[in-house]
Amino acid sequence: MSLKAPSHAIFALWTGLIRANADLQARIETALQAKGLPPLAWYDALWEIEKAGTEGIRPFALQDRLLLPQYGLSRLIERLVKAGYVERRACAGDGRGQMLHLTGEGARVRAAMWPVYETTLTGAVEARLSAAETVDLARLMQRLLG
Amino acid sequence: MSLKAPSHAIFALWTGLIRANADLQARIETALQAKGLPPLAWYDALWEIEKAGTEGIRPFALQDRLLLPQYGLSRLIERLVKAGYVERRACAGDGRGQMLHLTGEGARVRAAMWPVYETTLTGAVEARLSAAETVDLARLMQRLLG
DNA sequence: GTTATATTAATGCAACTGCATCTACATAGG
DNA sequence: CCTATGTAGATGCAGTTGCATTAATATAAC
């Protein structure tokens, strides 16, 4: 039978998690901001909408993927629309709903964000972890998520 | 010489980090809120101030430990003072500064938060990771932090 | 069809955050 | 002493978030 982890190990994990998250997030946001690009949260939304293609996608379907509450998503979409990156279209078959579509400008901005996002993140991780450690850490993190 | 981790492993790590952080944070905040206790951010501040004892502590000294910007800390302290959990006292030798002290009520609330915090966090982690995995994960996270 | 319940999305309001700036005091250089 | 620069902390404002509620439509029960 397995022993329980001592509380201090769990708290070391927890504080490490918080700090690593804050550190990486800050690096990415700073890099994006330095290039005059939108915040990271927009990237994920634009990407999910872009993947939906000509079909479009319903807001409620984005909710789980984006880890946002309903009103948070509603307002994020509102901003994306106002910025001209996303279009709302009526939803055939459900009068309550809407289909979201990426505009050309939205695609352009998403594409511009990607290399900044990617190089900042991989740069920061590779500076500190070997390939093997990265894989191990990713695997353990998945286990932590159940 | 070591190989670079493939980008997908780094992104798996990154999304795992975000989700694990959000998941644990949400559990703790929910548990605290369910007991009518203040948010998690208050705990750390109260605890640091409590550790400072009768000496008290200067706000700028809390900044690094609490991972807050200067104005964020200023306002957190403002709320803690208004709630009656913290006292500001004049700072001998530096007219700009102040010394922060925990009140009895502050200590009581901090103490009430602890078991909720602790059991929620350890419960969530122990449900998914063995002791060995927890230690490994904590160690790798430290490495990620440089 | 009518009523009850559920789902999609938006919104009023208060609290909170980020950014830039400001005030007050401290320290250094002349 | 006086001025210049640095540091501690607060704050105005605009933008964002959380919570609760609302509006509109859909589905289920009768």
Model pLDDT for residues B25-77, shown as the tens digit of each residue: 999 999 999 999 999 999 999 999 999 999 999 999 999 899 999 999 999 99
Give a three-class secondary structure readout of chain B: CCCCCCHHHHHHHHHHHHHHHHHHHHHHHHHHHHCCCCCHHHHHHHHHHHHHHHHCECHHHHHHHHCCCHHHHHHHHHHHHHCCCEEEEECCCCCCCEEEEECHHHHHHHHHHHHHHHHHHHHHHHCCCCHHHHHHHHHHHHHHCC
- Tokens 């939205």 belong to which residue? A106
Instruction: From the options 1.10.10.10, 1.25.40.10, 3.40.50.1980, 3.40.50.300, give the CATH code of B8-144.
Output: 1.10.10.10
Q: Residue A82, CB, less than 7 Å from strand D?
A: no
Nearest Cα of chain B lies from the Cα of A48 at a distance, in angstroms, of: 14
Per-residue model confidence as pLDDT tens digits over A37-77: 999 999 999 999 999 999 999 999 999 899 999 999 999 99
- Please tell me which residue lies nearest to nucleotide D15, judged from CA to C1': A79
Which residues of chain A are under the pLDDT cut of 70? 1-4
The mean of the pLDDT values for chain B is 95
**Nearest residue, CB atoms, B128 vs list A6, A129, A144:** A144
Residue B94 CB lies within 7 Å of the nucleic strand D: yes
User: What pLDDT does residue B146 have?
Assistant: 87
Q: Which CATH number fits domain A7-144: 3.60.15.10, 1.10.10.10, 1.25.40.10, 2.40.160.40?
A: 1.10.10.10
**pLDDT for res A4:** 67
Q: Where are the domains positioned within chain B?
A: 8-144
- Residues 6 or more apart whose CB falls under 8 angstroms from that of B70 comprise B60, B63
- pLDDT score at A107: 98
The average confidence (pLDDT) of chain A is: 95
- At B135, list the tokens: 């230690």
Per-residue pLDDT, B104: 97
